[in-house]
Amino acid sequence: MYRKAFFAICLNGFALAFTWGITVTNIPWLFDRVGIRETDLGIWFTIFAALQLIFSQLSGRVIVPLMGTTKTLMLGQLSFAIFPYIFITASNIQVFFLSTIPLSIAAGLIFPTIASSTNFIENKTKRIYQTYQQASFSFGFIISGIFASLFFYINLYPPHIFLGLIFFLLLIIILTYIFGLTPENDYYEKLAKFKIPEKKVLFFGLNLAIFMGTVGIMLEWTPLWLKTDLNASLYIASLSILCWGGGEFIGRINGEKIVNTYGVKFAAGYFGLFGCLIFFISILSANVYVIIFGVFLFALSTSNFYPVVLMQGLKYTRESISITAANITTIAFTGFLIGPAIIGFTAETFGLTFNVIALCFIWAFNALLFIYFMNQVNK
């Protein structure tokens, strides 16, 4: 029963990452079609961040306690299925901004629910599943990179691609219903009022917010950066998504073994510092192929940061799992949305290359911050 339920969770993670990977590789096409500027994309991410905050809290405090995890995931995917067509067929900036509404609802419902339901299964089975669950996201980015490159190669019209994504997400809803936890075995909690999260939860949430900000920049701006600053073709630029997903997938599939063998500070801290240095060196080479390989190594070394930090936050909390998961993921994905938004506002002034270099220093600081947090909570 729990294996089937975990399969449903992974399907939702895969679908989210796959759809988002296809979306970000088509942003340059939408830029040319609608005349969107970097600043407009920054505003889009800002709106997304604000709305996602609201729906994440509603998910953990109201919707999951009332509906359970399976129905919440299905509702989130239904909202997500509306997003692709609005996004890719936007004929003006107003419709482009409107596409943030179904996307923010989906993110707010799906991300905290995936985290809390995975933790529920971990408690039932006494295994580490967060790393494998995060691997489903990475696998989604791998497949999206392959499909995006194929779509560009055969010159498939983007609106037709996104129409296919709608049917794909509807299929995920059906499979979630089939494999997800049944109502009598699902995870429910009491309704909870809002209050300021615990100090430790805020610490780990901040850690993840900075991390997700860097990941958001890598995923959402790297194809555009490679195309505009290094003159790479869309076909080559889309390979950065494939390499990021590949690095994360390999690291996360081996995440349980890495954590058990070397500990959480190595898995989420020291290993990432090494990969960050390699990526920084690759940027200085100004060679597209070296940079893409650097993206792969950076993703591999930082792959277990999110699941490890999330596990620590859920481990040290005194509140309910669904509320803690909602709080942590809300804070974390604020970074995922605000980080790329900041780049949208600064790219026109400083350029994308400068921002990607700055990203390396920010990530190194965050890895050291996690190591400091772990030393503090273990005192």
C-beta of residue 143 within 8 angstroms of C-beta of residue 18 = yes
Q: What share of the chain is helix, strand, coil (3-state, %, to 5)?
A: 85, 0, 15
Distant-in-sequence, close-in-space partners of 303: CB < 8 Å, separation ≥ 6: 134, 138, 247, 248, 249, 250, 251, 252, 255
pLDDT at res. 313: 78
C-beta of residue 167 within 8 angstroms of C-beta of residue 44 = no
Q: What is the mean pLDDT of residues 122-147?
A: 80
pLDDT at res. 320: 66
Tokens representing 45? 């991410």
The CA distance from 15 to 340, in Å, is 21
Residue 187 pLDDT class (50, 70, 90 cuts) = low
Q: Of 9-13, 114-118, 255-259, 283-287, where does mean pLDDT reach its minimum? A: 114-118
Whether the predicted pLDDT of 190 surpasses 60:
no
Whether the predicted pLDDT of 27 surpasses 80:
no
Cα 149 to its chain centre, rounded Å, is 21
Is the model more confident about 187 or about 175?
Answer: 175
Whether the predicted pLDDT of 377 surpasses 80:
no
Whether the predicted pLDDT of 192 surpasses 60:
no
Whether the predicted pLDDT of 348 surpasses 70:
no
Q: Please, what's the largest Cα pairwise distance for the chain?
A: 58
Whether the predicted pLDDT of 308 surpasses 90:
no
pLDDT at res. 337: 65
The CA distance from 209 to 333, in Å, is 6
Alpha helices in 35-157 (DSSP H): 38-58, 64-67, 69-88, 93-98, 100-125, 130-153
Is the model more confident about 215 or about 361?
Answer: 361
Whether the predicted pLDDT of 5 surpasses 80:
yes
The CA distance from 240 to 345, in Å, is 23
Tokens representing 214? 């860097």
Residue 64 pLDDT class (50, 70, 90 cuts) = confident
Q: What's the pLDDT tens digit per position in 262-284? A: 888 888 888 989 988 998 998 88
Supply the pTM of this predicted model: 0.69
Q: Go through the chain and tell me how many residues it has.
A: 379
Q: What's the pLDDT tens digit per position in 195-253? A: 566 777 778 888 888 888 777 777 666 777 777 777 777 667 777 777 887 888 898 88
Q: What's the pLDDT tens digit per position in 97-109? A: 888 888 888 888 8
Per-residue 3-state assignment (H helix, E strand, C coil) for 298-339: HHHHHCCHHHHHHHHHHHHCCCCHHHHHHHHHHHHHHHHHHH
Whether the predicted pLDDT of 171 surpasses 90:
yes
Distant-in-sequence, close-in-space partners of 49: CB < 8 Å, separation ≥ 6: 333, 334, 337, 338, 341
Whether the predicted pLDDT of 193 surpasses 80:
no
> What does DSSP assign to residue 181?
P
Percent over 90 (pLDDT), the chain: 5
